[in-house]
Structure 1
């Protein structure tokens, strides 16, 4: 596979993208990259003021950028429904759904919907969002859905008996579980797409060890260490977003592929196809997770 270069990708003029968490870090860089290639980008964010600042930054770099803000709070399933309703009223196509937003290792908390916060923000709300937007995705030729995973998925397991960490909570275990769930969802969605011959692609990506706002919940000492370490062995948000942009734009890719940095331990490097854990490829676990996700989000997801 040749080296990925954003400027060498085909123009995306006339296409529409949704990027969750587009106001900062990887999401911002992803939205900027898509705007540079001519796509109309919906900044799906929780805070309007922060999203507006991001929009203005992008417009300064890409004066012709076509951007819109639609609010969504992934800790609240009602707003996921609200986002989908507003989008479906306004648009009849969705070429790129980038499931980017996430939180990492916060103190234990439950959302208003009763989920452990990392599982809801990183996975359950994105599962529901994809479900609600799928009718318009199905109508869009060559649409792509990109799920954001992490190196941490390799240490993750799906604790079906305590999916929301109510019996015990390890913030790192919960984070790994949520990112494993994102990857399993991407694979299972592609399997179901293939069964229906829909011509849609579900891919996954991870940013390696990227210096982003995800480190905000680390202890102060951890934050002091994380910055220099990530700069030394990892990469910045601009490079961290390259696997996502490659997954969305590279015409040589196929559905069900996983894109990440190809350097040492996938911490940094040029984006390319990478492998995932055996657990992530368990079809039986993926089907079980899908059914549980339907039950917990309150909506059947028929591809």
Structure 2
């Protein structure tokens, strides 16, 4: 059985993915913001799957200090991490800056993912075949690389910033996959489909309509969760790395995501922002 770390699994696609993996008796380590919701979810998953090896860790993944602390807790509990699923994400209607002075969309959907991934790499190197699954969005295709506006400093729009963060996540996926090419760690990105998962319900007005649109005209929750779980553990993805998937299979991501010079720039900028945590 594999040790699987998954973020954002207290509802939506993440919870269904967790259920699928728990049903296969993998050991799940779920990271979420709400302790109350997290404890309720792990108890429900244990009942649904008869799997006692499901654990919850509280952390606000938009805060780098929380990410660092939860990574340390995982290191104290686990000898090895076989799978990391970076599933957590959100869209924010208004530009909000965290207490660490980072824009929240950028911090949650991208920079916190980079930090968690990189701090867990030593544990993943102990696995015979480790996998990282980064949950992006087809929305990344509407974004471009803006090194002087990564956090909406010059211009902020909820969809613009969300799409940008998901583009940066794919760029990180490809760059990390290349760096780990000779190791036992696979890194892939995915778009789960247009799914009603409660996404954007933390906002008001038109952004809440995204939830209702996908609820009545979108894909099924199972569609995205099946792909997420398969990328995590299915044998058919053995040896596959540096790719982007949708429920239709392997797809090309945006042209912007393949620009190697921009990927290096993003890596270096991210490194400078994380220097106190790595």
Same fold by TM-score greater than 0.5: yes
Q: Do the aligned partners of 1:206 and 1:244 also contact (CA within 8 Å) in 2?
A: no
TM-score (norm 2): 0.94
Cα distance change on mapping 1:157 and 1:299 into 2, 3 Å: farther
d(CA) in 1 for partners of 2:235, 2:276: 33
d(CA) in 1 for partners of 2:135, 2:190: 5
TM-score (norm 1): 0.86
Give how far 1:284 is off.
Answer: 1.1
Give how far 1:242 is off.
Answer: 2.0
Of the three residues 159, 167, 183, the one matched with 1:198 is: 183
Aligned to 1:211: 196
Q: Do the aligned partners of 2:227 and 2:247 also contact (CA within 8 Å) in 1?
A: yes
Aligned to 1:112: 99
d(CA) in 2 for partners of 1:84, 1:182: 19
Note the alpha carbon deviations across 1:142-176, whole angstroms, 9 max, x for none.
00011111010000112101211122211111001
SS at match of 2:85: strand
d(CA) in 2 for partners of 1:227, 1:83: 30
Q: Does 1:57 align with 2:44?
A: yes
Cα distance change on mapping 1:290 and 1:202 into 2, 3 Å: same
d(CA) in 2 for partners of 1:161, 1:152: 20
Aligned to 1:46: 33
Aligned to 1:19: 6
Structure 1 segments unaligned to the other structure (5+ residues): 1-12, 263-271
Structure 2 segments unaligned to the other structure (5+ residues): none
Note the alpha carbon deviations across 1:162-200, whole angstroms, 9 max, x for none.
211122211111001000011111111110011xx1121
Cα distance change on mapping 1:222 and 1:149 into 2, 3 Å: closer
Q: Does 1:229 align with 2:213?
A: yes
Aligned to 1:8: none
Q: Kindly report the root-mean-square deviation, in angstroms, between the aligned alpha carbons of the 2 structures.
A: 1.6
Aligned to 2:275: 298
Q: Do the aligned partners of 2:88 and 2:109 also contact (CA within 8 Å) in 1?
A: yes
